[in-house]
């Protein structure tokens, strides 16, 4: 019998996830069907309960339901608890288990696809919202030398730094104007690229050995990527993260982690 999965969101027609998971299933010989599921803004919980009743094995969750998914889950793993948000649900044994594969997906894209280890690196994380929170624990588990969180509202960055200050690695907070020195890795976790804006950061954060990664992706480099490249930095968009987080979810559901290289190459414009 073909197992059923889906991605839940509002809107959802734009999602690339069905194509990604279909490619993974073909490559690994898994018998599954993965579709888009549009949930009403006030009907996420009811949608999940319907999916469970209809025999679905799991689901991905995208905007605007990731926080609600964390509240709905009957059990959360450590990285989902740390993120305060869930993007992957597993339906098994009467439970709704919540996970967050965004952080591991970003780590995989940086360390495997870009070939840049996080260990002993100085990392700058731009933004202090849900996207930033979701990647902090997986980053810290890689053993960087330091993580600096920069945000327009300093108090928000300070609160996030406090939440993740107990993992034995320095995590500090600053406003954009207070950023000092250059960094090995700079991650744009703000939503500025959606409106073609640039976070107000100094050019000095970049150097020729810097990897600058924007969590957003599109048919051309973001303004952030263009700015970083003009300072000599290597750049990546968020497409690799999208594919890698999907592979992490697939592994949770199916017990096998698919190779991502071919899928990532196929999705590049």
User: For residue 229, what is the domain's CATH number?
Assistant: 3.40.50.720
Residues 72 and 160 in one domain: no
Residues 131 and 189 in one domain: yes
Residue tagged active-site, from 4, 66, 121, 220: 66
pLDDT value at 108 more than 80: yes
pLDDT of residue 257: 96
pLDDT value at 1 more than 90: no
pLDDT of residue 268: 83
pLDDT value at 269 more than 80: no
Asked whether the CA dihedral 3, 4, 6, 8 is positive or negative, the reply is negative
Residues 140 and 248 in one domain: no
Residues 75 and 177 in one domain: no
Report residue 194's pLDDT band, with 50, 70 and 90 as the boundaries.
confident
pLDDT value at 255 more than 80: yes
Residues 246 and 259 in one domain: yes
Residues 109 and 231 in one domain: yes
Report the mean per-residue pLDDT for the chain: 96
Residues 124 and 45 in one domain: no
- List residues forming the annotated binding site for shikimate: 15-17, 62, 87, 102, 217, 245
pLDDT in tens, 141-153: 999 999 999 999 9
Residue 89: CA count within 13 A, CB half-sphere? 35
pLDDT value at 179 more than 80: yes
Cβ pair 125, 107 in contact under 8 A: no
Write out the two tokens for 10.
């509002």
Residues 111 and 220 in one domain: yes
Q: Which domain holds residue 16?
A: 3-99+241-267
pLDDT of residue 236: 97
What's the total number of domains in the chain? 2
Residues 89 and 62 in one domain: yes
pLDDT of residue 176: 97
Non-local (6+) Cβ contacts of 205 within 8 A are 124, 179, 181, 182, 183, 186
Residues 136 and 168 in one domain: yes
CA dihedral 268, 140, 135, 241 (to 10 degrees): 10
pTM (two decimals):
0.95
Residues 162 and 232 in one domain: yes
Residues 52 and 113 in one domain: no
- List residues forming the annotated binding site for NADP(+): 78, 127-131, 215, 238
pLDDT of residue 15: 94
Write out the two tokens for 25.
């299933």
pLDDT in tens, 35-89: 999 999 999 999 999 999 999 999 999 999 999 999 999 999 999 999 999 999 9
Measured CA to CA, the distance from residue 110 to residue 141 in angstroms comes to: 14
pLDDT in tens, 73-84: 999 999 999 999
Asked about 66 being catalytic, the answer comes back as: yes
CATH number at residue 79: 3.40.50.10860
- List residues forming the annotated binding site: 15-17, 62, 78, 87, 102, 127-131, 215, 217, 238, 245
């Amino acid at each position: 019998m073909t197992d059923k999965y889906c991605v839940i969101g509002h809107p959802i027609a734009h999602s690339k996830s069905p194509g990604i998971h279909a490619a993974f299933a073909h490559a690994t010989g898994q018998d599954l069907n993965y579709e888009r599921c549009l949930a009403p803004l006030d009907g996420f919980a009811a949608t999940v309960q319907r999916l469970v009743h209809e025999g679905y094995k799991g689901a991905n969750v995208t905007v605007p339901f990731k926080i609600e998914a964390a509240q709905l889950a009957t059990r959360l793993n450590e990285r989902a608890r740390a993120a305060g948000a869930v993007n992957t649900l597993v339906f098994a044994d009467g439970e709704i288990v919540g996970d967050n594969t965004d952080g591991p997906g970003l780590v995989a894209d940086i360390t495997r696809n870009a070939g840049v280890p996080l260990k002993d690196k100085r990392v700058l994380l731009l933004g202090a919202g849900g996207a930033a929170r979701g990647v902090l624990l997986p980053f810290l588990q890689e053993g960087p030398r330091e993580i600096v969180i920069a945000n327009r509202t300093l108090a928000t960055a300070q609160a996030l730094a406090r939440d993740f200050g107990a993992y034995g690695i320095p995590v500090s907070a600053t406003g954009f104007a207070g950023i000092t020195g250059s960094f090995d890795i700079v991650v744009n976790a703000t939503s500025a690229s959606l409106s073609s804006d640039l976070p107000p950061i100094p050019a000095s954060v970049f150097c020729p050995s810097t990897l600058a990664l924007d969590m957003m992706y599109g048919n051309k480099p973001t303004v952030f990527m263009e700015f970083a490249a003009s300072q000599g930095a290597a750049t990546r968009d968020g497409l690799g993260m999208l594919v890698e987080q999907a592979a992490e979810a697939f592994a949770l559901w199916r017990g096998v982690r698919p190779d991502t290289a071919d899928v990532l190459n196929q999705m590049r414009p």
